[in-house]
Structure formats: C-alpha cells, structure tokens
Amino acid sequence: MFKFTSSEVRDLIIAFIVISLCFGIANTGRDMNALVQILPMIMVGVGAGFILHELGHKFVSMKYGYWAEFKLWPQGLLFALVTSFFGFVFAAPGAVYTYANYMTDEINGKISVAGPIVNIILAIVFLVIAALVYRSAFTSEVALTVFFVCALGYSINSFLAVFNLLPIGNLDGSKVLRWNAGIWIITIAIAGIMTLASHTIGVENIVRMIIGF
C-alpha cells in the first residue's frame, strides 16, 4: 500500500518550496522582479521533477516490500540556498529512507536509479510538449507560457538526473554504480548529454532542430 505519513507530506512540501526558490534565485540572481515572474514556472518543473523523483524511490522500495519515507535534510536545504546565489543549486534537500534489515546491492541500485530515470523521462516529456507548442508560441501568449514552462522543466529535470547520478557521497549514483556500472554509465551519459545540450545549444534551438524550424 502506497502510504504517506503527515511528517513526510510536510517535509516534501517544505523541500519543494525551498528548492523551487533556489532554482529561481540561480536563474535570476538578486533580481526580485524576475524571480517573482519566473518562480511559478520553475515550480512546475521542480514540482514534477523533485516530487516524482522521490516518489520513484518510494514506489520501487515499497514494490520490494520495504517501508520507505521521505525525510528532510535541513543542512542540505540551507546549502542549496547558499549555492543558488552562485548560479548553481546543490539539490539535496532530503532523501527517501528505505527501512530494511538487509538489502542487496541490486535492489538498492534499482531503488536508487528509479529517481533519475523519472527525471530523464520527465525532461523528454517536457521537451516533446515544448516542440508541439513552439510554432503556436509566436502568436499565442498561452502557448508561449507553456513553452517557457516546458523549457525550464526540461533543463531542471535533466540537471536533477545528472546531479543525482554523480557517484559521490550518498547520492543515487554511488549505489547505482555499486550495483551495475553499465546501467550507471548509460543513465548518466543520457542525463549528461541532455543537460549539456540545454546549457550549450539551448532548449529553443533543440526544439527547432527537432521540428525542422
């Protein structure tokens, strides 16, 4: 049964709000007017990316019969806020803790890779939607807004995927690499290429290449 505790819901909401704010600051610096304008758009990408990433871990954990619960990491939230002022977000606001007396590297790896895979899928979905509305964005304010939301959603989710797949500390990448190096290489390569493309080519140019515009 897929259940949430009241403290888990509270922690997810707090982490979602603070991480959204961090990505907003990272994208706008100290420009409060720009932050207010972009924050609702960022919250869609972060909301989908962060919440579903954690739910991916939780779902796979519970699929194997373990109890899993998201817990906030206050120090991680504070560090994320500090790094956001330097244009980068150390996105580690907390984690899904799986309670088990014993767990194989394989199961731990599958639970860990679930989150980044969710982000990769979401990034692709955002990119497809951006491509579908791009032509209409020149004549429709609604389509233009949807395009911007999806462009941010693609960038944020591809970044969340590659960041969490880094094989350092307690990030997902360490557990995935310990389980299966091949799967780790494939997933971080996909996420890395997607992230690099968003920062070098730009989402709009990626969309233009996709639709041949």
CA-wise closest residue to 193 among 123, 130, 125, 133: 123
Cβ neighbours of residue 90 closer than 8 Å, sequence gap 6 or more? 76, 79, 80, 83
Count Cβ atoms below 10 Å from residue 145 Cβ, excluding itself.
14
54 classed as catalytic: yes
Q: How far is CA 29 from CA 1, 40, 75, 94, in A?
A: 43, 16, 22, 24
Partnered with residue 97 across adjacent β-strands are 69
| Per-residue tokens: 102 | 């014993």
Catalytic residue among 54, 106, 141, 204: 54
Catalytic residues: 54
